[in-house]
Structures are given as structure tokens and as C-alpha cells.
Amino acid sequence: MNQVKLILEDGTCIEGTSFGAHTSVAGEVVFSTAMTGYPENLTDPSFAGQILVLTTPMVGNYGVPGEELYESISKIFESDKIHIAGLVVNYYSEEHSHWNAAKSLGDWLKEYNIPGIFNVDTRRLTKQLREKGAMLGKLVAAEDVPFHDPNLDHLVAQVSRPGVQRYGTGQHKIVLVDCGTKTNILRCFLERDVELIRVPWDYDFTQLDYDGLFLSNGPGDPKMCAATIAHLQTALQQDKPIFGICLGSQLMGLAAGGDTFKLKYGHRSHNQPVKRTGTRRCYITSQNHGFAVDPATLPAEWTVLFENLNDGTCEGIQHTSKPFFSTQFHPEAAGGPQDTEFLFDDFLTAVGKYKADNQK
């Protein structure tokens, strides 16, 4: 097998074995402690531009499932392609066995020209990333490439789908602002009797007729989404319910007048504990983000809705009088815990109440 090097911006050089595409790439090196769900993780648009380190000891053993559709969208994957720049694992299993496997992980990576490296001590590497923070890095195969910071790119513009798309024929009309939305968000809505209008990140949704507004997850620095923030500021002047997830939470914080900051190494795993403010109730959540809202910068009419119990960071915000709220974590969680999927029901309950109040 071919050899490949993982080189970090601090000078660290790790040699390993190549799988997937034997090519060189650069990006931001981040880690995920999730033990399962690599098909979902690799297709999550929030990982765009990143070299992903998986701490689970063995990867590839259950292969990659075949493509199945549900309501014209993928039944399994989180988007229509792999979004990571590269993959780093401890042990790659060339032999896979699962009832719905259609191909190997290595072959899947080759289809999208994504390189992978294994025979790497990923837990030691993860400790290094925790101490120093997310770093720029590169996988060097045949030819060297320069380091590149994907956070300087407008990643949301790269992953947001162009054009308006419609799904479902339900009773509640929801506009979904696509900043890199995970497919399971669509599934969660479509299972709840809604009509979804999916619009690009910079689309002026304020001109549309809708009952509720949803802001999706996505990659990179939320401050690059100036057009989305401007449209959202207009929406916040009204009373129609708004729900944001991940990047959507950061956009809501910025539109409200707050600020965001980059986390040291981000939150990326399936078992992050969060506590609902004002209660003793804790939830186990799935997360994937590198930025967060600074609660100290929020106006008086906004409060913290959830708090991360590992580091105390803001995990969601809400308006004190209007039906606006957000979560930094993923209530749709695929793969991962589904403890907080009820938040979709809370949002649609608010939508129903708004419609009833305005039909009087």
C-alpha cells in the first residue's frame, strides 16, 4: 500500500498508510469522538474543508450503505456527497460486512477523490488537538500542497443548494434557509405534516408567504453570511416563529445584535451533555460546530436556552417574549442520540399557535 503523511502547522509529521484517493489535500484538522455514523459524518456539510480525525479504533467495518430515497431525499446520508477534505483513522478495515452495505469506505472515498490515512494513533493526535486547538494540516501523498485555512472561504456559499426546492404538502408552511442543511432535518420536518420551502443561504425569504422560519446548520464562520443576517434581522421584527440549529443559532445571535467566537477545537461528537437553563434537566446531544454565540453580548431581551456542561458555552438562545429560539446542538442527530428531537414539535406547536392567534 502507498504511504502518506499528515503534516500539522506546528511541524508535527505523522506517517501512515493511504486509503481512498491517493492525493494531497489541505484543510483544518478537527476530531470527532463519535463511535458510529461515519457515512453520516462524512456527508455532513458542516465538515466542509476539514480533515476529520475519528477516535473510534476501527473504521470501515460496516462499509457504506446503498442510496435509498425518502420523499425525494436521501434516506441515510446527510447530503448528496462527501464534504470532508480528508479522513484520518486508527485502523481501516478493508473487509466490510453489513446487510445494507453496497461498497467499501475506501471505494466511496475514491469516488469523490477524498484521501484517507490509517495506522495513525488518533487518540494521541486528538489529545494534541485538545491541547493546542484545531490546527491547519495537510495530507501529503505524491506532491506537497500549501496549508489552507478553510474558514477564510465562504463555505456556506459552497454547500448551500442553488434555487428554491419544495417538499411535502402539510398544513404548516416552513421556509428552510439552507446554509448546508443536514438531510435528517428535512426528514424530521416531513414526518411532521409540513410543507417545506428550501431556499439558498442568501435568498430574500422575507418576500415569501410562510408560517415559520428555520435556519439550518452549516460550515465555517457565520459572520460571512451577511445577506442571511440582514434578512433575518427583518424577520426578527415580526412575530412568526423562528428555529435555528448549529450555524442557524449563531446567525440568530448575530442578527439579534450579539457576537460569535471561534471555539478552541469545537464540539464534535454524539454525546455532549447540555442543560436547559433554569432547570436541572440534562440532555445528551450530537454536535458539530467550531463557532459559538457569546451570551455576554446578547441584548437584554435574549437569554441562554441551553448550556454545555463540559465547558459552559452557550448551546442555544431564546427571545424572552417572541417565539424565537435556537440550539447549537443537533436535535435531529443522525447518527447520535435523539433526546431533543421534541424541539421540532415545540417549534411547530409555536407555529400552530401563531397561525391560530392571527386568524382571529
Q: Would residue 143 show up in a list of annotated catalytic residues for this protein?
A: no
Give me the pLDDT at residue 333, please: 87
Q: Would residue 330 show up in a list of annotated catalytic residues for this protein?
A: yes
Dump pLDDT digits (tens) for 211-266. 999 999 999 999 999 999 999 999 999 999 999 999 999 999 999 999 999 999 99
Catalytic residue among 179, 188, 225, 246: 246
Q: What is the mean pLDDT of the chain?
A: 95
Q: What is the pTM of this model?
A: 0.96
Q: Would residue 332 show up in a list of annotated catalytic residues for this protein?
A: yes
Give me the pLDDT at residue 37, please: 87
Residue 295 has pLDDT above 90, yes or no: yes
Dump pLDDT digits (tens) for 297-312. 999 999 999 999 999 9
Give the confidence band of 1 by pLDDT, cuts at 50, 70, 90: confident
Residue 294 has pLDDT above 70, yes or no: yes
Angle in degrees, CA 138, 141, 146, rounded to 5: 35
**φ, ψ at 74 (rounded to 5°):** -60, 140
Give the confidence band of 360 by pLDDT, cuts at 50, 70, 90: low
- Hey, what domains does the chain have and what are their CATH numbers? 3-152 (3.50.30.20), 155-354 (3.40.50.880)
